[in-house]
Amino acid sequence: MRKLLFVFVLFLLAAFSVNAQLLGLRVAANSGMLISELGTSDVPHPSAFSLSPPTSSEKFSPQLSAGLEGEILFQVTEKTYFGIELDYTHLKGFNDDPPYFNYFLTPYFQQYQDEFIISPLEYNTRLFNVAVNYKYFFMPDKIWTPFVKLTGVVALVGTELKYSGFAPDDLLVNDYWDLTDYGVNDGADVLYARGTSTSEQKKWPAFHVGGGIGFDYALRDNLLFEIDGTCTVLNSGIIDGVPNFTYANEDGAELLKYNRRLSLTTQISVGLVYLFEIGDGGRGGDGRIDPNLPFFRNKH
Protein backbone atom coordinates (compact mmCIF):
# COMPACT_ATOMS: atom_id res chain seq x y z
CA MET A 1 0.00 0.00 0.00
CA ARG A 2 2.87 2.40 0.79
CA LYS A 3 4.34 1.85 -2.67
CA LEU A 4 1.01 2.69 -4.32
CA LEU A 5 0.71 5.89 -2.29
CA PHE A 6 4.30 6.85 -3.19
CA VAL A 7 3.55 6.46 -6.92
CA PHE A 8 0.37 8.52 -6.53
CA VAL A 9 2.24 11.33 -4.75
CA LEU A 10 4.88 11.42 -7.51
CA PHE A 11 2.15 11.88 -10.11
CA LEU A 12 0.63 14.73 -8.10
CA LEU A 13 3.97 16.50 -7.70
CA ALA A 14 4.57 16.27 -11.43
CA ALA A 15 1.11 17.65 -12.15
CA PHE A 16 1.39 20.66 -9.86
CA SER A 17 4.82 21.55 -11.27
CA VAL A 18 3.14 22.64 -14.52
CA ASN A 19 1.97 26.26 -14.87
CA ALA A 20 -1.69 26.91 -15.63
CA GLN A 21 -2.68 23.32 -14.87
CA LEU A 22 -6.36 22.51 -15.51
CA LEU A 23 -7.66 20.08 -12.91
CA GLY A 24 -10.69 18.09 -11.91
CA LEU A 25 -11.23 16.11 -8.72
CA ARG A 26 -13.55 13.10 -8.72
CA VAL A 27 -14.79 11.24 -5.63
CA ALA A 28 -16.97 8.16 -6.09
CA ALA A 29 -18.37 5.01 -4.55
CA ASN A 30 -17.99 1.76 -6.46
CA SER A 31 -19.32 -1.78 -6.52
CA GLY A 32 -17.55 -4.58 -8.35
CA MET A 33 -17.76 -8.28 -9.02
CA LEU A 34 -15.77 -11.17 -10.46
CA ILE A 35 -17.34 -12.33 -13.73
CA SER A 36 -15.17 -15.38 -14.46
CA GLU A 37 -11.65 -16.74 -14.66
CA LEU A 38 -9.96 -16.86 -18.05
CA GLY A 39 -7.46 -19.33 -19.42
CA THR A 40 -7.20 -23.11 -19.34
CA SER A 41 -9.55 -24.65 -16.78
CA ASP A 42 -8.13 -26.81 -14.00
CA VAL A 43 -8.19 -30.54 -14.72
CA PRO A 44 -9.66 -32.21 -11.60
CA HIS A 45 -7.46 -34.68 -9.75
CA PRO A 46 -9.13 -38.14 -9.72
CA SER A 47 -9.45 -37.95 -5.94
CA ALA A 48 -10.96 -34.47 -6.11
CA PHE A 49 -13.34 -35.62 -8.83
CA SER A 50 -14.54 -38.62 -6.80
CA LEU A 51 -15.08 -36.50 -3.68
CA SER A 52 -17.05 -33.76 -5.45
CA PRO A 53 -20.87 -33.87 -5.35
CA PRO A 54 -22.35 -34.56 -8.81
CA THR A 55 -24.27 -31.27 -8.71
CA SER A 56 -21.29 -29.14 -7.65
CA SER A 57 -19.99 -26.15 -9.59
CA GLU A 58 -16.78 -24.11 -9.40
CA LYS A 59 -18.75 -20.93 -10.10
CA PHE A 60 -19.14 -18.48 -7.22
CA SER A 61 -22.15 -16.18 -7.08
CA PRO A 62 -21.07 -12.54 -6.64
CA GLN A 63 -22.46 -10.41 -3.82
CA LEU A 64 -22.94 -6.67 -3.71
CA SER A 65 -20.07 -4.82 -2.07
CA ALA A 66 -18.91 -1.24 -1.71
CA GLY A 67 -15.63 0.56 -2.31
CA LEU A 68 -14.26 4.07 -2.71
CA GLU A 69 -12.13 5.87 -5.27
CA GLY A 70 -10.64 9.27 -5.91
CA GLU A 71 -9.24 10.63 -9.16
CA ILE A 72 -7.40 13.74 -10.29
CA LEU A 73 -8.12 14.75 -13.91
CA PHE A 74 -6.04 16.75 -16.39
CA GLN A 75 -7.50 18.10 -19.62
CA VAL A 76 -5.38 17.17 -22.64
CA THR A 77 -7.64 18.51 -25.40
CA GLU A 78 -11.20 19.79 -25.52
CA LYS A 79 -12.53 16.20 -25.65
CA THR A 80 -9.84 14.14 -23.90
CA TYR A 81 -8.75 13.83 -20.29
CA PHE A 82 -5.95 12.05 -18.49
CA GLY A 83 -6.69 10.79 -14.98
CA ILE A 84 -4.78 9.29 -12.05
CA GLU A 85 -6.95 7.29 -9.68
CA LEU A 86 -6.51 5.83 -6.20
CA ASP A 87 -9.05 3.05 -5.69
CA TYR A 88 -10.26 0.60 -3.05
CA THR A 89 -12.39 -2.27 -4.39
CA HIS A 90 -14.11 -5.01 -2.40
CA LEU A 91 -15.17 -8.20 -4.19
CA LYS A 92 -17.02 -11.04 -2.50
CA GLY A 93 -19.05 -14.10 -3.42
CA PHE A 94 -20.37 -17.46 -2.24
CA ASN A 95 -20.75 -21.02 -3.49
CA ASP A 96 -23.39 -23.16 -1.79
CA ASP A 97 -22.45 -26.31 -3.71
CA PRO A 98 -18.68 -26.27 -4.29
CA PRO A 99 -16.58 -29.14 -5.66
CA TYR A 100 -13.54 -30.59 -3.98
CA PHE A 101 -10.97 -28.22 -5.48
CA ASN A 102 -7.51 -29.53 -6.38
CA TYR A 103 -6.11 -26.96 -3.96
CA PHE A 104 -7.42 -28.98 -1.00
CA LEU A 105 -5.08 -31.84 -2.01
CA THR A 106 -1.95 -29.68 -2.03
CA PRO A 107 0.47 -29.09 0.88
CA TYR A 108 -0.45 -25.38 0.76
CA PHE A 109 -3.90 -26.18 2.12
CA GLN A 110 -2.38 -27.95 5.13
CA GLN A 111 -1.09 -24.59 6.38
CA TYR A 112 -4.72 -23.79 7.27
CA GLN A 113 -6.61 -27.08 7.77
CA ASP A 114 -5.96 -30.79 8.08
CA GLU A 115 -9.08 -31.70 6.16
CA PHE A 116 -11.68 -30.11 3.90
CA ILE A 117 -15.36 -30.85 4.40
CA ILE A 118 -17.76 -30.37 1.50
CA SER A 119 -19.77 -27.35 2.58
CA PRO A 120 -20.68 -23.83 1.39
CA LEU A 121 -17.79 -21.43 0.82
CA GLU A 122 -17.37 -17.68 0.60
CA TYR A 123 -14.55 -15.36 -0.40
CA ASN A 124 -13.67 -11.79 0.46
CA THR A 125 -11.15 -10.03 -1.77
CA ARG A 126 -9.86 -6.49 -1.43
CA LEU A 127 -7.90 -4.60 -4.08
CA PHE A 128 -5.89 -1.43 -3.53
CA ASN A 129 -5.32 0.13 -6.94
CA VAL A 130 -3.46 2.96 -8.62
CA ALA A 131 -4.99 3.49 -12.06
CA VAL A 132 -4.11 5.62 -15.07
CA ASN A 133 -7.20 6.51 -17.11
CA TYR A 134 -7.76 8.04 -20.53
CA LYS A 135 -11.26 9.44 -21.21
CA TYR A 136 -12.75 10.68 -24.47
CA PHE A 137 -15.91 12.80 -24.26
CA PHE A 138 -18.12 12.79 -27.37
CA MET A 139 -20.11 16.00 -26.72
CA PRO A 140 -18.13 18.20 -24.31
CA ASP A 141 -20.40 21.21 -24.89
CA LYS A 142 -23.60 19.45 -23.77
CA ILE A 143 -25.23 19.12 -20.34
CA TRP A 144 -25.28 15.32 -20.75
CA THR A 145 -21.91 14.05 -21.97
CA PRO A 146 -21.16 10.37 -22.76
CA PHE A 147 -17.58 9.12 -22.78
CA VAL A 148 -15.41 6.04 -23.25
CA LYS A 149 -12.31 5.27 -21.24
CA LEU A 150 -9.22 3.07 -21.22
CA THR A 151 -7.54 2.12 -17.97
CA GLY A 152 -4.31 0.51 -16.78
CA VAL A 153 -4.07 -0.47 -13.12
CA VAL A 154 -1.42 -1.60 -10.64
CA ALA A 155 -3.12 -3.52 -7.82
CA LEU A 156 -2.34 -5.13 -4.49
CA VAL A 157 -4.64 -8.12 -3.96
CA GLY A 158 -5.64 -9.51 -0.58
CA THR A 159 -8.10 -12.40 -0.34
CA GLU A 160 -9.59 -14.88 2.11
CA LEU A 161 -11.52 -18.11 1.46
CA LYS A 162 -13.51 -19.72 4.27
CA TYR A 163 -16.55 -21.78 5.16
CA SER A 164 -19.88 -19.97 5.30
CA GLY A 165 -23.26 -20.58 6.88
CA PHE A 166 -22.02 -21.93 10.20
CA ALA A 167 -22.54 -20.83 13.78
CA PRO A 168 -20.92 -22.22 16.96
CA ASP A 169 -22.96 -24.40 19.30
CA ASP A 170 -25.54 -25.37 16.65
CA LEU A 171 -25.61 -28.82 15.10
CA LEU A 172 -27.50 -27.64 12.06
CA VAL A 173 -27.77 -24.05 10.79
CA ASN A 174 -29.71 -23.25 7.61
CA ASP A 175 -29.41 -26.91 6.53
CA TYR A 176 -25.59 -26.74 6.78
CA TRP A 177 -23.69 -28.99 9.14
CA ASP A 178 -21.96 -27.18 11.96
CA LEU A 179 -18.18 -27.69 12.03
CA THR A 180 -17.44 -26.95 15.69
CA ASP A 181 -16.17 -30.50 16.20
CA TYR A 182 -13.72 -29.95 13.35
CA GLY A 183 -12.20 -26.78 14.76
CA VAL A 184 -13.29 -24.44 11.98
CA ASN A 185 -15.34 -21.96 14.00
CA ASP A 186 -14.39 -18.91 16.04
CA GLY A 187 -12.10 -17.54 13.34
CA ALA A 188 -10.38 -20.85 12.56
CA ASP A 189 -12.40 -21.54 9.39
CA VAL A 190 -9.97 -19.93 6.93
CA LEU A 191 -9.09 -22.23 4.03
CA TYR A 192 -6.81 -19.86 2.14
CA ALA A 193 -5.61 -16.32 2.73
CA ARG A 194 -3.11 -13.89 1.30
CA GLY A 195 -2.48 -10.30 2.31
CA THR A 196 -4.87 -10.45 5.29
CA SER A 197 -4.51 -10.63 9.06
CA THR A 198 -4.88 -14.42 8.87
CA SER A 199 -1.93 -14.83 6.49
CA GLU A 200 1.81 -14.34 6.74
CA GLN A 201 2.03 -13.65 3.00
CA LYS A 202 1.94 -10.10 1.66
CA LYS A 203 -0.67 -8.89 -0.80
CA TRP A 204 -0.32 -10.13 -4.37
CA PRO A 205 0.95 -7.41 -6.76
CA ALA A 206 -0.90 -7.59 -10.05
CA PHE A 207 -1.62 -5.56 -13.17
CA HIS A 208 -4.92 -5.21 -14.98
CA VAL A 209 -6.14 -3.40 -18.07
CA GLY A 210 -9.54 -2.68 -19.53
CA GLY A 211 -12.02 -0.11 -20.65
CA GLY A 212 -15.46 1.23 -20.02
CA ILE A 213 -18.23 3.66 -20.84
CA GLY A 214 -20.04 6.33 -18.84
CA PHE A 215 -21.51 9.77 -18.81
CA ASP A 216 -21.44 12.96 -16.79
CA TYR A 217 -24.26 15.39 -16.15
CA ALA A 218 -23.63 19.04 -15.35
CA LEU A 219 -25.18 20.08 -12.03
CA ARG A 220 -23.33 23.39 -12.39
CA ASP A 221 -20.68 24.67 -14.77
CA ASN A 222 -17.93 23.23 -12.58
CA LEU A 223 -19.76 20.42 -10.73
CA LEU A 224 -20.67 17.19 -12.53
CA PHE A 225 -22.47 14.00 -11.62
CA GLU A 226 -20.63 11.04 -13.17
CA ILE A 227 -21.36 7.34 -13.55
CA ASP A 228 -19.31 4.74 -15.42
CA GLY A 229 -18.93 1.01 -15.86
CA THR A 230 -15.55 -0.65 -16.38
CA CYS A 231 -14.39 -4.17 -17.26
CA THR A 232 -10.80 -5.22 -16.64
CA VAL A 233 -8.69 -8.35 -17.04
CA LEU A 234 -6.66 -8.88 -13.89
CA ASN A 235 -3.39 -10.81 -13.81
CA SER A 236 -4.38 -12.87 -10.79
CA GLY A 237 -6.20 -16.18 -10.28
CA ILE A 238 -6.99 -15.81 -6.57
CA ILE A 239 -9.78 -13.24 -6.84
CA ASP A 240 -12.27 -15.98 -5.84
CA GLY A 241 -9.97 -17.08 -3.01
CA VAL A 242 -9.12 -20.43 -4.64
CA PRO A 243 -5.54 -20.98 -5.93
CA ASN A 244 -5.56 -22.77 -9.27
CA PHE A 245 -3.90 -26.18 -9.62
CA THR A 246 -4.37 -28.60 -12.50
CA TYR A 247 -3.88 -32.37 -12.60
CA ALA A 248 -1.24 -33.94 -14.83
CA ASN A 249 0.03 -37.50 -15.23
CA GLU A 250 3.62 -37.35 -16.42
CA ASP A 251 5.61 -40.58 -16.84
CA GLY A 252 3.24 -42.35 -14.49
CA ALA A 253 3.56 -39.69 -11.79
CA GLU A 254 0.41 -37.87 -10.68
CA LEU A 255 1.08 -34.16 -10.25
CA LEU A 256 -0.82 -31.06 -9.22
CA LYS A 257 0.75 -28.14 -11.05
CA TYR A 258 0.08 -24.45 -10.52
CA ASN A 259 -2.25 -23.16 -13.25
CA ARG A 260 -1.81 -19.47 -14.07
CA ARG A 261 -5.20 -17.87 -14.79
CA LEU A 262 -6.58 -14.39 -15.33
CA SER A 263 -9.71 -12.84 -13.82
CA LEU A 264 -12.36 -10.83 -15.64
CA THR A 265 -13.94 -8.25 -13.34
CA THR A 266 -16.48 -5.47 -13.72
CA GLN A 267 -17.14 -2.37 -11.66
CA ILE A 268 -19.70 0.45 -11.53
CA SER A 269 -18.75 3.83 -10.07
CA VAL A 270 -21.01 6.72 -9.11
CA GLY A 271 -19.69 10.07 -7.90
CA LEU A 272 -19.11 13.80 -8.33
CA VAL A 273 -16.47 15.72 -10.27
CA TYR A 274 -15.39 19.23 -9.27
CA LEU A 275 -13.54 21.17 -11.99
CA PHE A 276 -11.19 24.09 -11.40
CA GLU A 277 -8.11 25.87 -12.72
CA ILE A 278 -4.80 26.65 -11.02
CA GLY A 279 -1.71 28.54 -12.13
CA ASP A 280 -1.57 31.61 -14.34
CA GLY A 281 -4.92 31.09 -16.02
CA GLY A 282 -3.47 29.49 -19.09
CA ARG A 283 -1.63 32.56 -20.39
CA GLY A 284 1.53 31.78 -22.25
CA GLY A 285 4.59 33.97 -22.62
CA ASP A 286 2.92 35.98 -25.39
CA GLY A 287 -0.15 36.66 -23.26
CA ARG A 288 -2.49 34.50 -25.35
CA ILE A 289 -5.03 32.26 -23.61
CA ASP A 290 -4.99 28.50 -24.09
CA PRO A 291 -7.91 27.58 -26.43
CA ASN A 292 -8.89 24.71 -24.11
CA LEU A 293 -9.71 27.12 -21.26
CA PRO A 294 -11.78 27.30 -19.23
CA PHE A 295 -11.38 23.79 -17.85
CA PHE A 296 -15.06 23.51 -16.95
CA ARG A 297 -17.34 23.46 -19.95
CA ASN A 298 -20.29 25.84 -20.25
CA LYS A 299 -23.26 23.52 -20.42
CA HIS A 300 -25.99 26.14 -20.79
Tens digits of residue pLDDT in 214-258: 999 999 888 999 999 999 999 999 999 999 999 998 877 888 999
Q: Is residue 245 part of a domain?
A: yes
The predicted structure's pLDDT at residue 293: 46
Q: Is residue 288 part of a domain?
A: no
Task: Please state the length of the chain.
Answer: 300
Q: Is residue 299 part of a domain?
A: no
In the predicted model, what is the mean pLDDT of residues 253-280? 89
Q: Is residue 144 part of a domain?
A: yes
In the predicted model, what is the mean pLDDT of residues 276-284? 57
Q: Is residue 120 part of a domain?
A: yes
Q: Is residue 48 part of a domain?
A: yes
pLDDT band at residue 16 under the 50/70/90 scheme: very low
Q: How would you write the chain as a 3-class SS string?
A: CHHHHHHHHHHHHHHHCCCCCEEEEEEEEEEEEEEEEECCCCCCCHHHHHHCCCCCCCCCEEECCCEEEEEEEEECCCCEEEEEEEEEEEEEEEECCCCCCHHHHCCCHHHCCCCCCCCCEEEEEEEEEEEEEEEEECCCCCCEEEEEEEEEEEEEEEEEEEECCCCCCCCEECCEECCHHHCCCCCCCEEEEECCCCCCCCCEEEEEEEEEEEEEEEEECCEEEEEEEEEEEECCCCCCCCCCEEEEEECCEEEEEECCCEEEEEEEEEEEEEEEECCCCCECCCCCECCCCCCCCCCC
Q: What's the number of domains the chain is made of?
A: 1
The share of the chain scoring above pLDDT 70, in percent, equals 77
Is the per-residue pLDDT at 96 higher than 50? yes
Q: The domain that contains 64 carries what CATH number?
A: 2.40.160.20
Q: Is residue 84 part of a domain?
A: yes
Is the per-residue pLDDT at 285 higher than 70? no
In the predicted model, what is the mean pLDDT of residues 15-29? 70
Region of poorest pLDDT, from 79-83, 166-170, 171-175, 269-273: 171-175
pLDDT band at residue 122 under the 50/70/90 scheme: very high
Is the per-residue pLDDT at 67 higher than 90? yes
C-alpha neighbours within 13 Å on the C-beta side of residue 32: 29
Give the structural domain span for 201. Answer: 2-277
The predicted-structure confidence for 150-203, as pLDDT tens digits, reads as follows 999 999 999 999 998 754 433 333 343 444 444 444 446 899 999 998 888 899
- The mean predicted confidence, pLDDT, of the chain is 82
Q: Is residue 111 part of a domain?
A: yes
